[in-house]
Amino acid sequence: MIKKHLPLFLLLFALILLIYGNSLNNAFLSDDLAEIVQNPNIDHLSNLLTRPFGFIRLFLYWLAFHIGGLNPFVFRLINIFFHTGSVFLIYILLNRLYSKRLALFVAGIFAIHPAISEAVVWISGGMYVQYAFFFLLSFLFYVLSKENKKYFLLSIISLLLAFMSHPQMPLLLFLIFPLYELTFGNLKDNFPKTIPFLLLTILYIFVSLNGLPERTTTLQSMHYQQGGVDNPIFLIPVALTSYFELIFFPQTLTLYHSELNFGQIQFLVRFLITLGFLIVALISFKKNKSIFFWSSFFLIALAPTLTPFRLNWIVAERYLYLPILGILVLLGLGFEKLTNSPKFKQISYIMLALIVILLSVRTIIRNIDWKNEDNLWIATGKTSPSSPNTHNNLGDVYGRRGDKQAALREFQRAIELKPNYGDAYHNLANTYMELGQPGKALENYQSALKFNPNLWQSYQNIAAIYLSQKNYEQAIENLQKAISVNPKNLNLRNNLGIVYLISGKKDKAKEIFTEVLKFDPNNQIANQGLLEAGK
C-alpha cells in the first residue's frame, strides 16, 4: 500500500520541507532554554527518571544532544519527523475511510496550516505533535484491526505512547473509539473492544492527578496565574470561536492569546456561533454521521483545554494541533462534494490552489517570527498588547539592544497589568542596576521576592548591593537565602565563601570552599578561595 502511494507521500514531504525549511535554523526560544539549553542533565539518561511516565520526549532530547550537541536544528527535526508522520497517517486513514482526493486535501492543508505551526516550529511545543502522531497511529491500527486482530494490541500500545508524550491532551481520546463504532461500525457488538482504551485512560488520569500540584505551582510561580474557577458558559464560546478564527482566518497568530475581552454584542455573536455548531453536530447524527463524527472529534480532542480550573491557557495555537483535523475533514467533505459536481469542479480546484498558496505564505512568514527571541517578542507585542508576559519579554529585548529606558517602560507596563509579577520586578531592578540606581534596584528586588520567594537571583543581586556597601551581614544573609532556594548552585556557595573571606571570617570561608570542592574537586574559584583563606 505504501509503494502505491509513495509519489503522494513524497509530494507531502516536499511540501512540509518547503513550508518549514526557513524554520530549521531558528534559535532555542522561551521554554526551550530551561528544558534544553540550561538543563545540566540533558546529556544524562538519568534525566529520564524525572518523568518516568513521560520519558519519550526527554529521551529524544538526549538523542538529539548526542547527535548534534546544543544545535537547535537537530532538536527541531524531531518535530518535523512527527509532523510528517502525522500528515502521512492522516492521508492513510482518510484514504481508507473516504477517498484519495479527500485524504490528499486534508493531509495537504494539515501539513501547511499556519494555525498549528507553533507546535511544529517551537521545539517545546513538539509534545503536541508527538502525542497527536501516536494517537493517529492508534486510531489507524484500530481501524485496521477489523481485518487483522494483531493490529488491536498495536493500537493500545500506540495510545499508551500518546499518553507518554503528553499527560493531559489524550485524556478524552478514548471516546473516539466507541464514537467510531457508533458512527461507522457496530457499537453494540464491538463495545468490549473499546474497554482497554478506557482502562488505560483511567490509569493515566491518576498519573495526571499526581502531576497537578506541580502544574499548579508552575502556573502560579512562573506565570503568576491566580487560582479560581472560570465560568464555562463564557469560556467555551470564547475559546471555540477563537479557534474557528485561527482555522478560517489565521491572521493574528501569537504565543499569548490575551485579547479575549469582548463586549456584550461580540460575546453574544460568539455564543450563537458556538451554539449553532453544537446543534449542527447533534442534528447530523441522524442526517450525516460523518459530520457528527468529525465535529465530535474536534470537540473531544480540544476538551481537556476547556476546563474552568485554570490549568492551561484559554486559547493556545499548539492545543489546536490534533483537534483541527476534525474541522479539516468537514471542509474536505464539502470540497469533495463540490468537485463531484461538474458545475463547481473547476472553480473548486482554483480556490484550493489559492488557499494553499495563502496558507503556505502565512506559515512561512510566521516561521520568521520564531527565528529568535527578538523576533518572537516584537511580533507578540503587536498581537498581544494586554499580556504582561509580552511586556516583560519585550523589556528583555530592549535591554539586550541597549535601550534601557524602553526596557524600563516595558517592565513597568508588565507590572501595571499584573501587580504581583515577581519576574517583572526582578527585571526592572536589573535595569535600574545597569542605570546605576542601586536604591531603586534594591526596592524592586525586594518587591520581586515578596511576590515570588523562589527568585534566588533577586537574593543574589541584593547580596551584591549590600556587598558594595560593605554591609557584609546583609550580604551573607541574602546569599544564604539564595542557597536555600537553589542548593545545587555552586556559584552561590562560592560567592558566600568570598563574602566570608572579604569580611575576615576565614574559617567560615574555608568551610564553604571545602564543601564546594566535595562536589567539584576542580573548581578553580573554590581552590583559589581555600588558598586565600589559609593565609
Cell (9 digits) for 498: 568570598
pLDDT in tens, 360-376: 999 999 999 999 999 99
Q: Tens of pLDDT along 75-116?
A: 999 999 999 999 999 999 999 999 999 999 999 999 999 999
Residue (of 279, 299, 93, 285) closest to 183 by Cα position? 285
Q: What is the pLDDT along the chain (535 residues), one digit of tens a residue?
A: 567 778 899 999 999 999 999 999 999 998 999 899 988 889 888 888 888 888 999 999 999 999 999 999 999 999 999 999 999 999 999 999 999 999 999 999 999 999 999 999 999 999 999 999 999 999 999 999 998 989 999 999 999 999 999 988 999 999 999 999 999 888 988 999 999 999 999 988 887 777 665 555 555 555 566 666 788 899 999 999 999 999 999 999 999 999 999 999 999 999 999 999 999 999 999 889 999 999 999 999 999 999 888 778 899 999 999 999 999 999 999 999 999 888 888 998 999 999 999 999 999 999 999 999 999 999 999 999 999 999 999 999 999 999 999 999 999 999 999 999 999 999 999 999 999 999 999 999 999 999 999 999 999 999 999 999 999 999 999 999 999 999 989 999 999 999 999 999 989 989 999 999 999 899 999 899 888 877 6
**Residue found by looking up cell 544532544 in the block:** 65
Helices 264-287 and 232-248 pack at an angle, to 10 degrees, of: 80
CA 229 to chain centre: 22
Contact present, 383 and 252 (Cβ < 8 Å):
yes
The C-alpha atoms of residue 472 and residue 491 are separated, in whole angstroms, by 18
- Measured in whole angstroms, the distance separating CA 354 from the mean position of its chain's CA atoms is 30
Tally Cβ neighbours within 10 Å of residue 379: 20
The three-point CA angle 179-184-190 to 5° equals 65
**Rounded Cα distance, 437 and 442, in Å:** 9
Whole-angstrom CA distances from 430 to 47, 335, 400, 465, 505 are 32, 56, 12, 11, 29
Kindly list the domain boundaries of the chain, sorted by start residue.
6-373, 381-533
Is 381-533 in CATH node 3.40.50.1000? no
Q: What is the largest CA-CA distance in the chain?
A: 96
The type of residue at 52 is P
Give tens-digit pLDDT for 116-145.
999 999 999 999 999 999 999 999 999 999
DSSP-derived secondary structure for 221-282: HTS-PPP----HHHHHHHHHHHHHHHHH-TT---S--------HHHHHHHHHHHHHHHHHHH
| Residue 387 contacts residue 413 (beta carbons within 8 Å) | no
Task: Measure the CA–CA gap between 120 and 436, rounded to whole angstroms.
Answer: 42
What is the structure's pLDDT at 4?
78
